[in-house]
Structure 1
Amino acid sequence: MTSSPWSTHTVELGSHSVTKRFRRGNREQCEREWRALTLFDRYAPGLVPEPREVDFTADEPTVVMSRLPGEPLRGQALGDRQTEALAAAVTRLHSAVPPGVLTGVPLRPGRQHTVIGQIRSWAPRARGWGDGKVVAAMDSGLAWLARSGMEKPGRPAVPRVFGSGDGNLANYLWDGSCVRVVDFEDSGLSDRAFELAEITEHVAGWVDRPLDVVSFLGRFDLTAAERARLGECRRLLALVWLFLLSLDDAEHPRNPPGTVERQADRLAELLG
């Protein structure tokens, strides 16, 4: 069994199956996981685990799925083959669900306006903890956010896709020939630019062995509107990560020393 203090679930690994038990009160996450597994089992078989069983009513809502082969991409040095396979898996994930079915998929959590609200609530406390470089990056990020227009109501004028809702490269498994995807508790209706930014800006994509962002993003045929939105989403999510990392527990850090300072540099580069 694997779990962590900040996790919403535990995972029991069998020889051919995986049992994911969500913590009490996390039925919605269980529902999102099961919805994704059943949709992709129908429209993109082999991309994600096969759904086996579900119990929404248990004290700890539970999903049982097949166990996929492969090793997580997080921490690996990704060459052209892995990067191409990652992009192919993400493309398939975004495009597999037919538009008529996609309209019935609920919006994913952690959307643009949600994370902006989180930034606003974190800012007073986080700015009091950071050093000069980190606070300066926060201030630059907040100034950019105020003039970006991202806080305006309404949804972006780009096509919607099914989004996994988590850019952690640990959720992408490489078996030597292809990449498959796991972990859909935050999945739902999204757009491609936001989902790609989730991957490129997630701390897992650069803290160990960095993902080649230019090579990765160059494998997607984005519209002009998506390209413009991607740049804004990358800045927004880099700002989110700056706050998240600055609020990390100093007694039990989740990332190496100096990570928040490196994130400040990343945000500064994205802001130009």
Structure 2
Amino acid sequence: MTTRFHTHHIDIRENTVVKRYIDWSRGEPYREWAALKVLDFHVPDLAPHPIHADLDATPPAITMSRLPGRVLRGEPTTSAQIEATAHALDRLHRIPTRAVTELDPASWGPEAAVAKVRRLIHARPDPGSDPLARQAHQEGTTWMATTDPDHLLDNPYPPVLGLADGNHANFLWDGQRGCVRLIDWEDSGRNDRAFELGELTEHISRTDGTLDPEALLAQIDLTPREAMRVRGFRRLVALCWLLQLGPTGAATPHNPPGTARRVAERLLNLFG
């Protein structure tokens, strides 16, 4: 299963966690500290409580509270966990716009994703010999040549504070309290809500578990226009992963055989 190159070391203590950053080229510690402070003020208990920051140290470090629970990755997801995830996202996305606009844009958002997919397509990656993967690759390439991806960049809705990382390991299930909390805010910032939902539902970590995106989205209040934008971003995110899963793709060594086919099936369903 895919893993990101780690940008930090984690020191887990009895009641606290100390996060020391290896790479902070995108302002990771500053992003995380800013997000944790906003979260602690507006939606306490949704994320770790910020305790102390050494942002100018080498390496930078943040001390935060340790949260109980286990990550929602690598196992079947229950209806209670899906409901709790939807509730957590609703709380997150209700943070006042005035607080969100003071944050920097997230490091991963619509513009970055569209640009990355176009770069990948321009590089003409080998989709491999699987007919389904080749079909999904072709349909995705055709879709990217339309104006649809550009329309996704026009967001008529207020921004939200987003994780900018849909890895399901960032969602922590507390079975005792029946709630989900969110961790790892180093890529966070001001972002598009529809993109955040597309990134969560189509992140490649979904292949390492059974989180039902339709069940999750059904519990989130979306206007018809927002739902269409979410579907567009789901296509974009799934295509981005597919383009990295060919025989020589960057994501291929980190994922088990058959991952490209599973992503292709999902992408074709999104185009259906």
| TM-score, structure 2 as length reference | 0.90
Q: Which residue of 2 aligns with 1:248?
A: 250
Cα distance in 1 for residues equivalent to 2:214 and 2:12: 35
Cα distance in 2 for residues equivalent to 1:267 and 1:249: 17
Query: What is the one-letter code of the residue matched to 1:112?
Result: P
Q: Which residue of 2 aligns with 1:142?
A: 141
Question: Residue 49 of structure 1: CA displacement?
Answer: 0.3
Query: Cα 1:267–1:153, aligned 2, differ >3 Å: closer, same or farther?
Result: closer
Q: Which residue of 2 aligns with 1:259?
A: 259
Q: Which residue of 2 aligns with 1:223?
A: 223
Question: Residue 72 of structure 1: CA displacement?
Answer: 0.4
Q: Which runs of 5+ in 2 are unaligned?
A: none
Question: Residue 194 of structure 1: CA displacement?
Answer: 0.9
CA contact (8 A) 1:24 1:59 kept: no
Cα distance in 2 for residues equivalent to 1:65 and 1:208: 28
Query: Cα 1:121–1:154, aligned 2, differ >3 Å: closer, same or farther?
Result: closer
CA contact (8 A) 1:193 1:233 kept: yes
- SS at 2:104's partner residue? coil
**Root-mean-square deviation (CA), in Å?**
1.9
Q: Which residue of 2 aligns with 1:11?
A: 10
Cα distance in 1 for residues equivalent to 2:268 and 2:165: 23
CA contact (8 A) 2:7 2:23 kept: no
Q: Which residue of 2 aligns with 1:78?
A: 77
| TM-score, structure 1 as length reference | 0.90
Query: Cα 1:158–1:184, aligned 2, differ >3 Å: closer, same or farther?
Result: same
CA contact (8 A) 2:38 2:99 kept: no
Query: Cα 1:73–1:123, aligned 2, differ >3 Å: closer, same or farther?
Result: same
2:101 counterpart of 1:100: no
Question: Residue 239 of structure 1: CA displacement?
Answer: 0.6
Cα distance in 2 for residues equivalent to 1:225 and 1:201: 19
Percent of pairs identical after alignment? 39
Cα distance in 1 for residues equivalent to 2:9 and 2:174: 24
Higher RCO, Cα 8 Å, sep 6+: 2
Q: Which residue of 1 aligns with 2:181?
A: 180
Q: How many residue pairs get matched?
A: 265
Cα distance in 2 for residues equivalent to 1:216 and 1:262: 19
**CA-to-partner distance for each residue in 1:89-147, whole Å, 9 max, x for gaps?**
1111111x222222212211121121122122222546236335333322210111221
Cα distance in 2 for residues equivalent to 1:147 and 1:244: 21
Q: Which runs of 5+ in 1 are unaligned?
A: none
- SS at 2:75's partner residue? coil
CA contact (8 A) 1:20 1:62 kept: yes
**CA-to-partner distance for each residue in 1:145-183, whole Å, 9 max, x for gaps?**
221432359532123211111111111111111111101
Q: Which residue of 2 aligns with 1:127?
A: 125
